Structure 1
Amino acid sequence: MKLKYIFLAFVSIIALSSCSDTDTTVAETVPTYDMSGFAKGADVSWVTEMEAAGTKFYDANGRETECLKLLKSMGVNSIRLRVWVDPTDGWNGKQDVLAKALRAKALGFRVMIDFHYSDSWADPAHQTKPAAWANDNLDQLKVDVAKHTTDVLQTLKDKGVDVEWVQVGNETPTGMLWKEGAYSDTDQSSFAQLINAGYDAVKSVYPNAQVIIHVDKGNLLGRFTWLFDGLKANGAKWDVIGMSLYPEDSDWETETGDCLSNIKTLEDRYGCKVVLSEVGMPWDSENAGAFMAKLVTGCKAINGCLGVFYWEPECYNSWEGYSKGVFDNSGKATSTLNIFKQ
């Protein structure tokens, strides 16, 4: 296990230090974009695994460039990283997250940490407890959540990483750590207790970090009010509501408009900020750039919206079957994120 993590850290260090002469030229010639204020973000959690597999990244002119530096030149100012508890291959585990966070720190990015509280993917269809927590009851799971959250964040803090946002759970419209932490009409307290265990752990390490509860399908208002009304009634604590939005060509305008309307409604209803934690559209869609322009422009016009994070923009050539990055099949950057330069 230790050798696995040492290898992951070595891969990330090599990637950070192996910038070519061409890469340096790109960094010197692009404008410097604002790294504060509205978050123009990217979840790049796959980047170390992609690099280990030999993946290369190229700017719009075809010049090979280190991935995070390239994204910065494209206007990105914030990085989001997912955390798994004990992944079998080490990717997205604590040491891999640390390696990526240090790279982000070195480039001046702001950082969001996304706890899945699982050994693999957590989303609306999967909220599986980590193997080490499989037999734990609700009271023990609260301890597990607090301990894991504190451990990862303290590791980052000890290495000088400033974390601005933390997600307690990933896409949790029906709770997390099933079945004990499932959220339903008949049990809304258990999930609220787990949220509070994570919230308190975050604040114990980073008192100023903003804690996010994240729900998919930002265009569906009822999906949010059902969850947050119940959490509020059960004393759950959060600072920010996180949304996902993945429209298709047939509905991107309607879904984007509904999402923007919902942001304002949720801000008013719960008195908190909102962030688009994940967005994406097929890389070859003729509407991808227009979608991002409409979404980002609309979000900037809402005082309560903190920013927009594109999910895994570095993916290309159907990496892991995903086709909603912002690079073409040759690894060359497209114009989808141009709105981030404004």
Structure 2
Amino acid sequence: MMNLKRHFHFLMASVLLISCSNNTPAPAEPTPVTPVTSTFAKGADISWITEMEAKGIKFYNAAGTQMEGMALMKSLGMNTIRLRVWVNPSPSYNDKADVVAKAIRAKNLGMRIMIDFHYSDNWADPGKQTKPAAWANMDLAGLKTAITNHTTDVLNELKKNNVTPEWVQVGNETNDGMLWPTGRASTNMSGFAQMINAGYDAVKAVFPQAKVIVHLANGYDNSLFRWMFDGLKSNGAKYDVIGMSLYPTWANSTWQVANQNCLNNMNDMVSRYGKEVMIVEIGMPWDQATECQAFIKDIITKTKSVSSSKGLGVLYWEPQAYNNWVGYTLGAFDNTGKPTVALNSFAD
């Protein structure tokens, strides 16, 4: 199964703009606070937020009061913000400057931060791992250097702004590697492992304490994860955490079965490789809010139960996307811009 994001990236050029009243007061600037100390990460990837704000989209709490989006996430019980990075995107959302601006906002709210390098100019997922245009003609050696330079550049800019990410993903949903065809794992596992190591070394050089994540989709698919991480192990790949996406919509099963299979897979990863695990993306249809609430509560409970306390956290993917934003329907806000009951499970 492929992650749903590749099914709608082509819709980005035809965004449905949402008009809001000009009389609504602007949300107050967040007050800097001390970072949270919770060890279990509960949060969201809200990388769309600056683009949504630029289109005039606003966010409201359950009472209908307008709030700044990240502060709203914190009020719902979240402590972590995940941000994707693209190399040379057009428009410039998710480039270095946009990511740093969002990361500063998250830091000022005391949120923990995960940086997600796609190593592409646009979406990277199981069905699409396209080299950035500027890297298109590079061989493996050139790509490793480019990974190093890009990773170092973005992380140094964060460091310059006193932002310290707790986790850094080296690649996004790399079910068959990244930077195709050079880093396609099914044909060049060694090359993919070398790319992972280039990213790992770059992360550790800037932020030695940051945990490096290798992220695959389909967290319920144990055979996929064994194939990939056996291959990476045999090729000397370095990483700290095994990241997973979990979308019951694509599991061909109920969410209960998907969650149980994911828990089995997480425990197997801990036992087989001795690594920590983390659910870095989840989502269900926004109009199945009650069912989604049960799904989130259950996968949080299951992740907390992972053997040796190696289940690090659960993050929702773009919950604030609403009213058919760029065709995405797996957010967790209703069409009035308020969170649904699905997100109540983050406060439990």
TM-score (structure 2 length as normaliser):
0.88
Is 1:229 matched up with 2:230?
yes
* Cα separation, 2, equivalents of 1:287 and 1:35: 30
1:91 counterpart residue number:
93
Question: Who is 2:107 aligned against?
Answer: 105
Are residues 1:291 and 2:295 paired?
yes
Matches within 5 A, 1:1-342: 18-20=26-28, 35-184=37-186, 186-248=187-249, 251-285=254-288, 286-302=290-306, 303-342=309-348
Distance 1:321 1:84, change over 3 A: same
Find the aligned partners of 1:36 and 1:144 in 2 and give their Cα distance.
35
Output the CA distance in 2 between the equivalents of 1:341 and 1:277: 18
State the 1:318 CA deviation. 1.1
Distance 1:250 1:267, change over 3 A: closer
1:251: how far off? 1.3
Which position in structure 1 is the counterpart of 2:9? none
2: distance between equivalents of 1:49 and 1:305?
32
Cα distance between partner residues in 1 of 2:38 and 2:137: 43
Cα distance in 1 between the residues matched to 2:246 and 2:143: 30
Show CA shifts across 1:129-174 (max 9, x none): 0000010000000000000000000000110001100000000010
Identity of aligned residues (%): 56
* CA distance in 2: counterparts of 1:65 and 1:309, whole angstroms: 20
Aligned residue pair count: 317
Matched letter for residue 67 of structure 1: G
| Distance (whole Å) between structure 1 residues aligned to residue 140 and residue 301 of structure 2 | 42
Distance 1:44 1:299 in 2: 21
Q: Cα distance, 1:36 vs. partner? A: 2.1
Change over 3 Å in CA distance of 1:155–1:18 after alignment to 2: farther
Contact in 2 for aligned 1:35/1:109 (Cα 8 Å): no
Offset of residue 335 of structure 1? 1.4
Q: Deviations over 1:263-306 (max 9, x none)?
A: 11111100010000100111111410010011011111221110
For the Cα contact (< 8 Å) 1:35–1:110, is it kept in 2? no
Q: Do the aligned residues in 2 keep the contact of 1:33 with 1:75 (CA within 8 Å)? A: no
Q: C-alpha separation between the residues in 2 aligned to 1:257 and 1:243?
A: 14
Looking at structure 1, the residues matched to 103 and 35 of structure 2 have their Cα atoms a distance apart, in angstroms, of: 20
- Taking the aligned partners of 1:171 and 1:62, their CA distance within structure 2 comes to 35
Consecutive unaligned residues of structure 2, counting only runs of 5 or more, are: 1-24
Letter in 2 for 1:312: E
Aligned to 1:4: none
The CA distance in 1 between the partners of 2:204 and 2:145, in whole Å, is 15
Distance across 2 between alignment mates of 1:270 and 1:129 = 29
CA distances 1:234-284 after superposition (whole Å, capped 9, x unpaired)? 000010000000113951110011101111111110001000010011111
Q: Distance in 2 between the 1:97 and 1:34 partners?
A: 21
Report deviation, 1:336. Answer: 1.0
CA distance in 2, matches of 1:133, 1:337: 39
Q: 2: distance between equivalents of 1:169 and 1:47?
A: 21
User: Secondary structure of the residue that 1:69 maps to in structure 2?
Assistant: helix
Q: Check the 8 A contact 1:57/1:64 in 2, yes or no.
A: yes
How far did residue 88 of structure 1 move? 1.2
Contact 1:111 1:164 in 2 (8 A): yes
Q: Is the 8 A contact 1:244 1:276 kept in 2?
A: yes
Contact 1:33 1:341 in 2 (8 A): no
Work out whether residues 294 and 345 of structure 2, in 8 Å CA contact, stay in contact via their aligned partners in 1: no
Counterpart contact for 1:153–1:202, Cα < 8 Å:
yes
Query: Which whole-Å CA distance do the structure 2 matches of 1:276 and 1:87 have between them?
Result: 26
Greater than 3 Å deviation, 4+ residue runs:
32-35
CA RMSD of aligned residues (A): 1.8
2:224 counterpart SS class: helix
